[in-house]
Amino acid sequence: MEQSKIQGIGFAVAKRLAADGASVVISSRKETNVCNAMNKLQKEGLSVTGVVCHVAKKEDRERLFQEAIDKFGGIDILISNAAANPTSGSILEVNQSSNPSHLSVHSGWLTDNVYMIPTASRLKRLCPMRKLEPFSMGYVHSVILFQCGETEWDKIFEINVKSAFLLTKEVVPFLQKRSGGNIIYISSIAGYTPIEFLGPYSVSKTALLGLTKVFANDLASDNIRVNCVAPGIVQTKFSSIVKIAGVVSFLCSDDASYITGETIVAAGGMVSRL
């Protein structure tokens, strides 16, 4: 069962697990995303179905699980990949401007159409394997600095953390009926090293690292393994995200049967650590 936006990493994971032989239920809060992803995968002869699900809604989560039971008879794997980031800025950022032409940037880098404020040297150090396109010195007209209010904070944690917690609690009885299973959270390298201008998002991704540890301990006696993958800055073209899907596939396989409570960083050397 793959819970995500069914784009990027989520789509790649669904495709890889289905190619491995799994019957996959994909979900998104947007029906068009579900239909598009399901049609693409079914055309490749993969065993895939889909359901619209907003992870913050209990009735939607129940419908998601029931779809898996009705179509495939049980649940063995849960991939929690849903994420939201409705704001940009640090947690205490207070500057806000709709046309911040006064903001002078001496060096910046573009990655996947997202402007990154950190200096070029810092980004190259963080992500040595990524090809980044440099901007020349000048002014930035497209960057808006938002304050993180309580509403934005609550939404980020509701989707990024609380939904993972609730999905796990609610899927456990189904996994117990199968005498075990796998739960995988998709976190981010930001969970280890907060990304500038993504303060609240980074904190939420750190929370998933802790959630992995706690649930792994609680569920070990039920033969349920809980692990996490922390991608770095990945290109959304399929040749890059397929590598993240490969890590998820490994964690769900028998080859990883002695691994639980761990987070695998797949970041191309970005902030490598002991």
The catalytic residue positions are 201
Cβ atoms < 10 Å from Cβ of 132: 16
The distance between the two most distant Cα atoms of the chain, rounded to a whole number of Å, is 60
Alpha carbon of 267 to those of 29, 105, 150, 231: distances in Å? 28, 26, 31, 5
CB 159 within 8 A of CB 205: no
Per DSSP bridges, beta strands 77-80 and 181-186 are parallel
3-state secondary structure of 135: strand
Q: Alpha-carbon distance 139 to 146, whole Å?
A: 18
3-state secondary structure of 50: strand
Q: Alpha-carbon distance 153 to 87, whole Å?
A: 9
Structure tokens at 48: 């895939």
CB 260 within 8 A of CB 220: yes
